[in-house]
């Protein structure tokens, strides 16, 4: 592999979400739901205590040469009860963003990353159309108070993952298993997104894909491949790719969400309500057809000999990110990798994972996709939802049992800093980190 340079002004960042790192998000639906549900018996608890330790983390990011950070704002913190805006919580978020801005770190702000205020969940969450209005009031408040800070606005994180886990497989709160509910939720999420797009553009000036504000969603895409050339395996893998990947792209472009997660009816103002698109890419799924129900996707995963897996059992496939980027390229807006990373407690696969995925990102740029930034998931080990603290995605190690919550750099952190500083992958980096 040869050295690779990235376009001027490319963003090199890390991505996090509020609930996963801040700690004590006590007015949220997740906080109420977690006891007894989380692997390892812990709850999110104090997480990484980033609510208090943000300054030290941002200083570390700055020293690594990072110029961007994807963070979340927790709706439950700033509106713990209906229309009761918590000024102190807003002041803390403002202090965070001020500190990032002073350090020259561009902000990507996520408004919804799966966690609701408990009072919203109690009123039916995203099944209730009133949640769209509540979300828009929240968006308006955020824009009024903090609108000058973010370069990128991410209205929704991975609506497909949220709907699947919360309403189809029932692994996340509210643990429903109903395709009908999943369809309603998808519609409301996309309605909320398009409303938020209008609020942000109306308040902060016309959207311009060169100057911002840049507004989009973080779309989780998987590279689906049939395990055999057989007709049924090909059909199921294409079906999954359509349902999981393309239907959201189509919905944003045309305003109509196709089945199975949409009802084929137009969603007002959705078409074109974005001026960038975020890609969250982790892995490939190689599937065979099985009559085992929609929550299993009518399929089973079967991988060829030699496939590499991470600690979570996810198949590693760098060229998958290239395929996904090419698919997103049809939207003709800038693309940011809003998440990419791997669960690897020992850090034995992460350096190669990063280099190989970045090589594919660079290849996509060469093929004409306007990729403008890469946010590695994630900065430090954090609360991995139902898997608790068992999966380690961090450039920095962190153990929930450590009273000091010390952030311990993995080798990947040092490597990623070198990539960010060089705005690319140099021969030296390749020699040093790809040698094994």
* 353 vs 393, beta carbon nearer ligand IFM: 393
Distance CA 145, CA 90 (A): 8
Distance CA 106, CA 102 (A): 10
Measured torsion, CA atoms of residues 417, 14, 384, 297, in degrees rounded to the nearest 10? -110
* 186 vs 280, beta carbon nearer ligand IFM: 280
| Binding flags for ligand IFM, 387-406, as an x/- string (CB under 6 A) | ------x-------------
Applying the rule CB under 6 A, the residues between 191 and 220 that interact with ligand IFM are none
Applying the rule CB under 6 A, the residues between 157 and 186 that interact with ligand IFM are 158
How many other CB atoms are found less than 10 A from the CB of residue 146?
19
Applying the rule CB under 6 A, the residues between 142 and 161 that interact with ligand IFM are 158
Distance CA 435, CA 91 (A): 47
**How many residues touch ligand IFM (CB under 6 A)?**
8
For 160, phi then psi, to 5°, come to -70, -40
* 164 vs 227, beta carbon nearer ligand IFM: 164
Minimum distance from CB of 20 to ligand IFM (Å)? 6
Minimum distance from CB of 155 to ligand IFM (Å)? 15
Asked if 370 is part of the footprint of ligand IFM (rule: CB under 6 A), the reply reads no
With beta carbons less than 8 A apart as the criterion, state whether 341 and 376 touch.
yes
Minimum distance from CB of 279 to ligand IFM (Å)? 11
* 30 vs 261, beta carbon nearer ligand IFM: 30
Minimum distance from CB of 235 to ligand IFM (Å)? 27
Out of 25, 163, 275, 280, the only residue in the binding site for ligand IFM (CB under 6 A) is: 280
* 29 vs 339, beta carbon nearer ligand IFM: 339
Applying the rule CB under 6 A, the residues between 8 and 47 that interact with ligand IFM are 17, 20
Minimum distance from CB of 48 to ligand IFM (Å)? 13
How many other CB atoms are found less than 10 A from the CB of residue 250?
16
Reading the block at residue 405, the tokens are 């919550």
* 280 vs 286, beta carbon nearer ligand IFM: 280
Reading the block at residue 100, the tokens are 């990032």
* 39 vs 208, beta carbon nearer ligand IFM: 39
E strand intervals along 194-315: 214-226, 277-289, 299-301
* 76 vs 267, beta carbon nearer ligand IFM: 76
Minimum distance from CB of 335 to ligand IFM (Å)? 17
Reading the block at residue 217, the tokens are 């969603």
Minimum distance from CB of 416 to ligand IFM (Å)? 17
Distance CA 118, CA 76 (A): 7
Minimum distance from CB of 59 to ligand IFM (Å)? 24
* 107 vs 425, beta carbon nearer ligand IFM: 107
With beta carbons less than 8 A apart as the criterion, state whether 110 and 21 touch.
no
With beta carbons less than 8 A apart as the criterion, state whether 226 and 287 touch.
yes
Minimum distance from CB of 392 to ligand IFM (Å)? 11
Question: Based on C-alpha coordinates, what's the Rg of the chain?
Answer: 20
Distance CA 353, CA 342 (A): 8
Which letter does DSSP use for residue 243 in this model? I
Distance CA 162, CA 97 (A): 27
* 236 vs 321, beta carbon nearer ligand IFM: 321
Out of 159, 199, 384, 416, the only residue in the binding site for ligand IFM (CB under 6 A) is: 384
Which letter does DSSP use for residue 366 in this model? H
Minimum distance from CB of 57 to ligand IFM (Å)? 17
* 22 vs 233, beta carbon nearer ligand IFM: 22
Peptide bond into 378 cis (omega under 30): yes
- Residue 278: which of 104, 158, 398, 124 has the closest Cα? 158
Asked if 377 is part of the footprint of ligand IFM (rule: CB under 6 A), the reply reads yes
| Binding flags for ligand IFM, 333-352, as an x/- string (CB under 6 A) | ------x-------------
Peptide bond into 62 cis (omega under 30): no
Which letter does DSSP use for residue 175 in this model? -
Minimum distance from CB of 17 to ligand IFM (Å)? 5
Distance CA 164, CA 180 (A): 12
Residues that bind ligand IFM (CB under 6 A): 17, 20, 158, 280, 339, 377, 384, 393
């Amino acid at each position: 592999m040869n050295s690779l340079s990235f376009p001027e002004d490319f963003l090199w960042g890390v991505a996090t979400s509020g609930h996963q790192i801040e700690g004590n998000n006590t007015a949220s639906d997740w906080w109420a739901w977690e006891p007894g549900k989380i692997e390892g018996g812990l709850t999110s608890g104090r997480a990484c205590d980033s609510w208090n330790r943000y300054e030290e983390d941002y200083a570390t990011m700055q020293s690594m040469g990072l110029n961007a950070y994807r963070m979340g704002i927790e709706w439950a913190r700033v509106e713990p009860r209906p229309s009761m805006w918590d000024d102190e919580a807003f002041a803390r978020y403002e202090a965070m963003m001020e500190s990032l801005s002073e350090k020259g770190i561009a902000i990507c702000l996520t408004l919804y990353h799966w966690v609701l205020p408990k009072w919203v969940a109690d009123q039916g969450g995203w099944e209730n159309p009133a949640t769209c209005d509540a979300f828009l009031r929240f968006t308006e408040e955020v824009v009024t108070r903090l609108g000058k800070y973010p370069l990128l606005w991410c209205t929704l994180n991975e609506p497909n993952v949220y709907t699947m886990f919360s309403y189809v497989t029932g692994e996340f709160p509210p643990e429903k298993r109903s395709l009908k509910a999943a369809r309603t939720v998808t519609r409301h999420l996309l309605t909320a997104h398009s409303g938020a797009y209008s609020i942000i553009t109306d308040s902060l000036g016309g959207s311009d894909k060169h100057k911002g504000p840049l507004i989009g969603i973080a779309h989780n895409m998987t590279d689906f491949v049939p395990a055999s050339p057989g007709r049924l395996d090909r059909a199921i893998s294409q079906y999954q790719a359509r349902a999981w990947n393309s239907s959201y792209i189509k919905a944003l472009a045309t305003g109509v969400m196709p089945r199975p997660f949409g009802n084929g009816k137009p969603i007002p103002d959705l078409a074109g309500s974005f001026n960038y698109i975020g890609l969250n890419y982790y892995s490939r799924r190689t599937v065979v057809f099985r009559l085992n129900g929609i929550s299993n996707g009518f399929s089973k995963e079967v991988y060829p000999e030699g496939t590499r897996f991470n600690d979570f059992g996810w198949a590693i496939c760098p060229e998958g990110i290239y395929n996904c980027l090419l698919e997103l390229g049809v939207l003709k807006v800038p693309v940011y990798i809003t998440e990419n990373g791997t669960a690897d407690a020992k850090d034995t696969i992460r350096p190669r994972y990063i280099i190989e995925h970045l090589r594919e990102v660079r290849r996509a740029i060469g093929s004409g996709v306007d990729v403008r930034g890469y946010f590695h998931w994630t900065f430090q080990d954090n609360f991995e939802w139902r898997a608790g603290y068992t999966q380690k995605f961090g450039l920095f190690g962190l153990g929930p049992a450590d009273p000091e919550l010390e952030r311990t750099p993995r080798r990947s952190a040092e490597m990623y800093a070198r990539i960010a500083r060089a705005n690319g992958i140099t021969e030296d980096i390749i020699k040093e980190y790809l040698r094994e």
